[in-house]
Amino acid sequence: MAETGAASSEARHLDVVVVGAGNAALCAALAAREAGASVLVLEKAPRHLRGGNSAFTAGGFRFAYTGLDDIRALLPDLSDHEADGIDVGSYPQAQFYDDLMRVTEGLSQPELAQALVEDSYPTVRWLQRQGLRWVLMYGRQAYRVGGKLRFWGGMIIEAVGGGQGLSDQEFALCEQRGIAVRYETKATGLLLDRRGTITGLRLRGPDGDDEIGCGAVVLAAGGFEANPEWRTRYLGAGWELAKVRGTRYNTGDAIRMALEAGAQPFGHWSGCHAVAWDLNAPPFGDLKVGDLFQKHSYPLGIIVNIDGRRFVDEGADFRNYTYAKYGRAILAQPQRTAYQIFDGKVMDLLRDEYRIARVTKATADTVEGLADALGIDRDGLVQTVREYNAAVQEGEFNPAVLDGKGTRGITPPKSNWAQRLDTPPYTGFAVTCGITFTFGGLRIDAGTAQVLDTEDRPMPGLYAAGELVGGLFYHNYAGGSGLMAGAVFGRRAGAAAAREALGTLRD
């Protein structure tokens, strides 16, 4: 990929400039280039830290599909023998839409949600045609039941190499198409003419401030989760103390620029995606570890605070539909700390992230010993485990379905996958709140991803995609829908920006 430094080394006017370099941004760049536009990508980070939040994900995509044939179309190397050993079920568009509405308490903007759902499978096929390669999420989204690996939760494939692999593949695809990237260069403002049309950008890079003209701009530089002042301003007290799961460069710059130009703020500005994150993880994401500081097998055990008390329903739903809101619940606990407790009979079912070297955990042969090792109130944990075990109801445990095997008579309940903690050794993992991305952002037209102003009018020359788009997620999130939304609206934004830029240039 062409890597440019000083502005003098490149054209003074381009068709499309994309601000950001994560999945949404690079999908926009690829779509704009496919439409015939010249494209420049601005990446605020240095090259070795490129890729935005996408590089820190598992690389999983949620999309609607009708059955195994749709999946095999994405995985041409899947053998008949492998296909016979899996059960992928189906994930109809109606279920995808219902899941979005259910987890967002019915607040997801219908036009955005419908666009995401309807264009999800066509977009992963488009990415495949661009050259992206996929694999099944065996280690994260499947349990062996009845001799087959049963996939669950509406998300079953990931990019080869996970999030880092997704980023590397998309950068390579951009390079093949001659899309230039300027690293360590951030956009600081939008240039507008007297009619309010976007005509370019103000930049700041290694060689100082600069300006560049273009026919259209796509903003795809993430939310404001790495900006502690904005987190506290919009999310509330205490959020400045949360750890940031991903890149340190998502500080809301693109949102600020757009608002200053008259864009409409939209969505759940006091909401975010936040998860259980290793207690001793660094303040920002580490690309060498990626997303493995997360701890998402909690439906198989219980979660307690430092007083030994449970505070959420660990089995309310598949983790895909609860993990993004439980980080907020952990932040509200004493010392912003919680502990995931498991017994010996489920340890082999835990996800791979529990087996990394950099993990905060303890193991003991008794509940009392585990409490002491982790620093949990001993009497509180013993009482909680005793009451929980007494409340567990009989039934068949099946982690691949909502098995209804719950508790009775305790608050909060555990609605599914409730098994007694009675098989030593007992293992506990210490976690805190890790913020992934913020839900508030800009309002866009669902069809073109063009940014709307405060009077709901399209802003000429300005488009947006990815985590800085508001209106899709409220309160909660369905796993894999973020990368999918970034790809869907990034593709739409890039194509529409190219059409506008090329039409303007021809005039």
Where does the pLDDT of residue 10 fall: very low under 50, low under 70, confident under 90, or very high at 90 and above?
very low
Q: Say whether both 360 and 407 belong to one domain.
A: yes
Whether 322 and 470 share a structural domain: no
Any domain includes 257:
no
Q: Let me know: does 226 contact 56? Beta carbons within 8 Å.
A: no
Residue 250 maps to a domain: no
Residue 269 inside a domain? The answer is: no
Pair 475, 341 in one domain: no
Say yes or no to pLDDT of 15 above 90. yes
Residue 202 lies in a domain: yes
Domain stop point among 412, 434, 456: 434
Q: Same domain, yes or no, for 58 and 189?
A: yes
- What span, in angstroms and rounded, lies between the C-alpha atoms of 459 and 439? 21
Which residues lie closer than 8 Å to 92 by C-beta, 6 or more apart?
A: 64, 66
Rounded Cα gap, residues 474 and 272, in angstroms: 8
Q: Which CATH number fits the domain that encloses residue 147?
A: 3.50.50.60
Per-residue exposure over 327-342, b if at least 16 CB sit within 10 Å of its own CB, e if not: bbbbbebeebbbbbbb
Q: Which residue's structure tokens are 């009497």? A: 379
> For the chain, first and last CA: distance in Å?
30
- Quick one: pLDDT at residue 507? 37
What is the length of the chain? 507
* pLDDT of amino acid 3: 39
Nearest to 485 by CA among 48, 118, 37: 118
Identify the three-state secondary structure at position 488: helix
pLDDT at 118 over 80: yes
Domain boundary among 406, 434, 462: 434
The last residue of one of the domains, among 403, 434, 465, is 434
* Residue 247 within a domain: no
Percent of the chain at pLDDT > 70 equals 97
Q: What number is the average pLDDT over the span 172-197?
A: 97
Whether residue 259 is contained in a domain is answered as no
Instruction: Classify residue 40: in a domain, yes or no.
Output: yes
pLDDT band of residue 156 (cuts 50, 70, 90) is: very high
Average pLDDT over every residue of 194-206? 95
Examine the pLDDT at 208 and tell me if it is beyond 90.
yes
| pTM as predicted | 0.94
Q: Could you write out the DSSP letters of every residue in 178-235? A: T-EEETT-EEEEEEE-TT--EEEEEEEETTEEEEEEEEEEEE----STT-HHHIIIII
Q: Are residues 465 and 489 in the same domain?
A: yes
Residue 264 DSSP symbol: P
- The reply to whether 422 and 381 lie within a common domain is yes
Is the same domain home to 308 and 289? yes
Among all chains, which residue has been given the structure tokens 């008794």?
Answer: 366
For residue 445, being part of any structural domain is answered with: yes
Give the C-alpha separation, 170 to 21, whole Å: 10
The answer to whether residue 243 scores a pLDDT higher than 60 is yes
- pLDDT above 70 (res 331): yes
- Peptide bond preceding 425 in cis form (omega within 30 of 0): yes
- Tens digits of residue pLDDT in 465-490: 999 999 999 999 999 999 999 999 99
Average pLDDT, stretch 497-507? 76
Q: How many CB atoms lie under 10 A from the CB of residue 365?
A: 11
Q: Using the structure block, give the residue that is written with the tokens 């264009």.
A: 119
Domain with 48, as residue range(s), is 7-225+439-506
For the chain, what is the domain count? 2
Residue 19 has pLDDT above 70, yes or no: yes
57 and 204 co-located in one domain: yes
pLDDT at 5: 36
Question: Is pLDDT of 109 > 60?
Answer: yes
Residue pLDDT, tens place only, 344-401: 999 999 999 999 999 999 999 999 999 999 999 999 999 999 999 999 999 999 999 9
Q: Are residues 330 and 427 located together in one domain of the fold?
A: yes
Q: Are residues 86 and 217 in the same domain?
A: yes
Q: Residue 13: name the closest of 501, 488, 479 by CA.
A: 501
CATH at residue 404: 3.90.700.10
Residues 451 and 378 in one domain: no
Q: What is the pLDDT of residue 104?
A: 98
pLDDT at res. 12: 65
Report residue 13's pLDDT band, with 50, 70 and 90 as the boundaries: confident
State the average pLDDT over residues 413-421: 98
**364 with 491, same domain?**
no
Whether the pLDDT of residue 258 is over 50: the answer is: yes
pLDDT at 444 over 50: yes
**Alpha helices (runs of H) in 423-480, residue ranges in sequence order:** none
